[in-house]
A and B are shown apart, each in its own frame.
Chain A
Amino acid sequence: MSRTELLNKLSEILGEILEDDNLRLTEATQADQVPDWDSTNHVRFLVAIESEFGIRFETDEIGSLDNVGQLIDLVQKKL
């Protein structure tokens, strides 16, 4: 899956979690720039990504991401 396809899929997943159909992420997007993307919703987001792609995040990885681009790097590494 390309980075663009992954970015679109992550936007879709987070949009469902935050109930925002218009949510569009970029690789530079940070959690504090998105309303409602707090620590609990971040965990919900990562668990939804796990379920979607059949991967597993380590606990230490939850708080280690600065932006969506780093999340894409991490997901690609696990695919």
Chain B
Amino acid sequence: MIDLGDYKNLKLLVDRVLKVWPAHESLAAKSFEIRSPEVLDVSNKMSALIETLAAHVPEGLDGLCKSYQFLCEKIVLPEELYFRRNGTYRLSNFSDARREVYSNAPFMRQYMNGLLISDVMWCNHAQALSYYVNSYLPSLPDAADHLEIGPGHGLLLYFAAIRPEIGSVTGWDVSPTSIENTRIALDAFQISRPVTLTLRNLFDSSPTTQRYDSIVLSEILEHLEDPLAALRAVKGWLKPGGRVWVHVPANSPAPDHLFLVNSPEHACELVKAAGFVIEDSAAFAMTGTTLEKATRRKLAISCLVTGRNAA
């Protein structure tokens, strides 16, 4: 078994995943052997949050772990086959994604729950989250107004909300169901400060003058037909000097991924094309390979880009 030492919550979660899916052990071992103590610490905190959340959802922790296996074997693998055969994602427009994926509530629930566990199990996801917690959030100015678009299970919002130096924390989503799920998660995490969750489309014109110091787009752009337009809209919501933090996967097929980012450089080019000054970037390869090999073989890479609104 994998020795996770004193990372108790992480050990509990990994043990439960492997109990549900024993054949996953060798890949899991590869995923954890390369993580630094800093990344393992964030994975341990993520695991604690997931275990808390599991007590508030009908599936429980084993159900979440089963959803993770379903994600890997039944959702991602067929898309990977299409991607390797054709060099493109299977879908390219939002109406198809809505018809095939978003309107199928039971499928969506399994898909989202599987992705939640992937934040701990996939080393590129874990490293991206560690970067967000240990590098991006600490770089924000005191009293920053922080917004996340599409906060999902609310884990990234949680890590922003527990930092007292951040002034305000807000999440936007276009789906009432997603907003409700984020609220359930944040309530379960017992955050002591208010987190504003608003049903809002990034492209809607604003009746307010509120602008933000920090806007997070984590695994959002690949779901859009026109990510450049989204980034330009984000720019309009930032204060002068404010930052966008983009986490977008390259070469990562999924049933609702529409826009193919093909390299970390491509991710940076997108952010730059929207008018941002690139302040920082990082890239983390999928489990079991190096960044150099992943780039050459067009394997999945988590691309992180911080852009500043210089205007």
Contacts and interface: CB of A to CB of B under 8 A. Distances in A.
Interface of A: 17, 19, 32, 36, 38-40, 43-44, 46-47, 50, 57, 59, 62-63
A63 B287 contact: no
Interface of B: 26-27, 30, 72-73, 77-78, 80-81, 84-85, 286-289, 293, 297, 299-300
B77 A63 contact: yes
Given A36-B288, A36-B289, A43 B27 contact: no
A58 B94 CA distance: 27
Contacts of B27: 38-39
Contacts of A59: 77-78, 81
B26 A32 contact: yes
B299 A62 contact: no
Contact of B288 (A17, A38, A44): A38
Main DSSP-derived SS at the A contact region: helix
10 contacts: A32-B26, A38-B288, A40-B286, A40-B288, A40-B299, A40-B300, A43-B77, A43-B80, A59-B78, A62-B81
Contacts of B289: 36
B80 to A, nearest CB: 5
Given A50-B85, A63-B73, 20 more contacts: A17-B297, A19-B293, A36-B288, A39-B27, A39-B72, A40-B80, A40-B299, A43-B77, A43-B80, A43-B81, A43-B84, A44-B84, A44-B297, A46-B81, A47-B84, A47-B85, A59-B77, A59-B78, A59-B81, A62-B81
Contacts of B297: 17, 44
A46 B84 CA distance: 9
A32 B27 CA distance: 9
A42 B193 CA distance: 47
Q: Which of B26, B77, B300 has the most CB of A within 10 A?
A: B77
Contact of A38 (B73, B78, B85, B287): B287
Nearest to B299: A40
A6 B38 CA distance: 47
A38 B210 CA distance: 47
Nearest to A48: B84
Contacts of A17: 297
Contacts of B81: 43, 46-47, 57, 59, 62
B272 to A, nearest CB: 29
Contacts of A50: 85
Contacts of A40: 80, 286, 288, 299-300
Contacts of A46: 81
A1 B289 CA distance: 33
Closest 9 CB pairs of A and B: A47-B84, A38-B288, A43-B80, A59-B78, A32-B26, A43-B84, A47-B85, A43-B81, A44-B84
Contacts of B73: 63
Contacts of B26: 32
Contacts of B78: 59
Nearest to B73: A63
A62 B77 contact: yes
B253 to A, nearest CB: 10
B117 to A, nearest CB: 16
A39 B77 contact: yes
